[in-house]
A and B are shown apart, each in its own frame.
Chain A
């Protein structure tokens, strides 16, 4: 299957700093990518839908100014957690799809963010 890669897999930062997480589709073009947040022992919570060349669509309750998403190319989407606080510590996962309702989702390996 297709490969989606996230980087970094783990990041530790100080409170108040910003952190960027990259999501790349390595062998296919992804017009749409998705960003999720996963809390311990909980399901994936969709944060936003990232469309190449346009603004991301955020789910209700997700602060767009805190979680900046950029999808500048068909193979790269980035999530920037701005002015991070300890409560932003979490596991962030991206996925990419070849498109449409029946398009299969391919997931990245996830990025563990720890804010001190």
Chain B
């Protein structure tokens, strides 16, 4: 079975700081990788996803993530965060099945101070 580990439970940054949220998974086969975001009071929504091809994927709002297969990692990055990026971020993995049958990490709360 897959497992997903998000190392940072709560990250606090000032505006314009750079962001990197860690995500590691355990599964030996082919995986599909996702980052979801939940802004305060809103639904979870897809930030970006990786299925194949270029391991550096770009998502909405200036976010990107890099799949490093040798490290079983899919870290989320943004060069310069904004106050509006304050949200809960979830990494998810599935083993090539329907996107809904993903294993989610425990989430990272990002607080950006203005």
Please give the residue numbers on chain A whose beta carbons come within 8 Å of chain B beta carbons, in ascending order: 1, 4, 32-34, 41-46, 49, 93, 95, 97, 99-110
Contact = CB atoms under 8 A, between A and B. Distances in A.
Centre residue among B44, B100, B101 by max chain A CB count within 10 A: B100
B90 A32 contact: no
Given A43-B106, A109-B43, 6 more contacts: A1-B45, A100-B98, A101-B94, A102-B32, A104-B46, A105-B46
A93 B88 CA distance: 15
A10 to B, nearest CB: 13
A110 B96 CA distance: 26
Interface of B: 4, 9, 32, 36, 42-46, 49, 51, 90, 94, 96-107
A101 B4 contact: no
Contact of A43 (B42, B100, B105): B105
Contacts of A1: 45
A101 B45 contact: no
Given A49-B100, A101-B96, A103-B99, A44 B90 contact: yes
A101 B99 contact: yes
B23 to A, nearest CB: 12
Q: Which 8 A-B pairs have the closest CB atoms?
A: A34-B100, A107-B44, A43-B104, A44-B104, A107-B43, A43-B106, A105-B99, A109-B43
A42 B106 contact: yes
23 contacts: A4-B43, A32-B100, A33-B100, A34-B101, A41-B9, A41-B106, A43-B90, A43-B103, A43-B104, A46-B102, A93-B44, A97-B98, A97-B99, A101-B32, A101-B97, A102-B51, A103-B98, A104-B46, A105-B36, A105-B99, A107-B36, A107-B45, A109-B43
Contacts of A100: 98-99
Nearest to B94: A101
Nearest to B100: A34
A102 B106 CA distance: 23
Nearest to A41: B106
